[in-house]
Amino acid sequence: MAPFPVPHATASWWRTQLHKLDDYLSSDCVPEDSDVVVIGAGIAGASVAYHLLQQNKGKKRPRVTILEARQACSGATGRNGGHLKPDPYSSISHLAAEHGMEAAAEVAEFERAHVDAISELVRTEKIDCDFVLTKAIDVQLLPDECRTAKDNFDGLAAAGVKSTGRVGYYGQNEAEERCRVKGAQGCFTYEAGHIWPYKLVLHLLGRCVDRGANLYTHTPVQSVSSESDDSGRWTVTTPRGSIKTHHVVYASNAYTPAILPMYSGKIVPVRGVCCRIVPTRSVKKLTETYTLRWAEGEFDYLIPREDGSIIVGGAWTRYYQDKKNWYNVVNDDEIIEPAREYFDQYMQRNFHGWEQSGAYVDQIWTGIMGYSADSLPHIGQVPGRPGQFIIAGFTGHGMPQAYLSGKGVAAMVSEGIPFAESGIPRLFETTLARVEHARNDILESVQDLKQPRAKFNARVRDNRLGKAASPRPAHLASWQVHGRGELPRPRYDYWQD
């Protein structure tokens, strides 16, 4: 059987100011029937429920029941890096190569639309969630990787991909000064945001409860019937009773295969790690979000907080070699041991002006992401199950994908519109062909990392031993050298489900 959430997760800093709905139960037992059952109370499930209860155009509001296995927003959304970061060029070049420029550009524009949509949501709903509209800086730290990234970007720009028009590029002579990262060979900048994800989601859940939704935390779904009854209703079974419903929405991300076995191996639990770093002395604050790309498949990501602290995630190269550390793992109740010390002195090593900051790791936690085997989310009607919908498999990149996907799923449920009219990118549609395909980008990409190219390795080794034009952080000299193979196209630097 596929794994369910474990009961006692590590403490995420985002969950240090708990909302009154964190352990909420609408009643001791779940209702016997509901128009819609939404499984999962992260950003995806909250968005679906919020839009179901908002967009009924004069119709009677549906009876919506939201089920969450642990506390509200205790999964990936409440354990992520705090980014709201669209990807205007990086993975888009991969998508263009495989699926064509038009489909790839559609994804880029959809992600960009999330920045505006959530900005407007925060404004109109007056949500206190520390939303900041700023710039993202993608920093390249190896010359070869920088040239490859710039070539890919130029190819998209030449093809007229609209998202590239909003991206700035700084070459080697100006990158280090622009981004303040030691050894920067180049950097890309573009509009992005950062946010307190837990507060955003709990506000949406609060709106849902105010509009009549039932919310049941600590209520894991044990099963969903494999067949509907004569009236087309499915049975959702929980420890608090069973619910009959015409519509089931799986917003359960990494845990989806446990209750929808056809997605076993198609959506895989992948464990990642984040921390909060706090300076003890005065330092010039960072004002933008970052991705630090050490090599292909080796990167970290961070956001600055208004209080001067930094949320940092990554450390991938410290633990990916042993897949027991991360692949098909749901244990967010423990730290990934090889990554535990990675973040010590992190800011001092990597950022100019932070050498005397006294910055230290204040808190560290893990979280479970739902990685898609073909690197794309699964959204839409579940194949062969009328009335059942899925919105899962965001592969560490859910914050710039899930909110508007939830709006589209809500329209499919309440208005019966087809996927093609939902506003969701065509590549995200779940299909029987995708579910039946044997592809596994996750393991294949990691295997590529274990097959280094000799010439490339020599250049990497030179850089890491201090022979690069710009000084390298000292800790890199002891790192194992890896090749250029592609990490799961899903990005750890965007860990935001």
Residues 6+ apart with CB under 8 A from 120: none
DSSP state of 230: T
CA-based torsion, 293, 294, 297, 299: positive or negative: negative
CA-based torsion, 237, 243, 248, 251: positive or negative: negative
Domains for the chain: give ranges and CATH numbers: 13-80+198-267+374-436 (3.50.50.60)
Structure confidence at residue 2 (pLDDT): 61
- Tokens 């069973």, residue located: 242
Structure confidence at residue 450 (pLDDT): 56
For 390-406, the pLDDT digits (tens) are 999 999 999 999 999 99
Pick from 462, 365, 396: nearest CA to 143: 462
Q: Which residues of the chain have pLDDT under 50?
A: 1, 452-497
Which alpha helices (DSSP H) does 216-368 contain, by range?
256-259, 346-350
Helix (H, G, I), strand (E, B) or coil at 35: strand
Cβ–Cβ under 8 Å, residues 217 and 41: yes
For 246-294, the pLDDT digits (tens) are 999 999 999 999 999 999 999 999 999 999 999 999 999 999 999 999 8
d(CA 297, CA 316): 8
Q: What are phi and psi of 319, to 5 degrees?
A: -145, -5
Structure confidence at residue 495 (pLDDT): 33
- H or E element at residue 194: strand 186-194
Residues 6+ apart with CB under 8 A from 116: none
d(CA 476, CA 465): 8
For 37-66, the pLDDT digits (tens) are 999 999 999 999 999 999 666 789 999 999
Burial class (CB in 10 A: 0-12, 13-18, 19+), 113: middle
Q: Which two tokens stand for residue 393?
A: 């498999």
Structure confidence at residue 297 (pLDDT): 73
- H or E element at residue 17: none
d(CA 162, CA 10): 41
DSSP state of 324: G
Cα 242–244–247 angle (5° rounding)? 125
Regarding beta strands 378-381 and 388-392, do their DSSP bridges make them parallel or antiparallel, or are they unpaired?
antiparallel
Q: Which two tokens stand for residue 22?
A: 């964190």
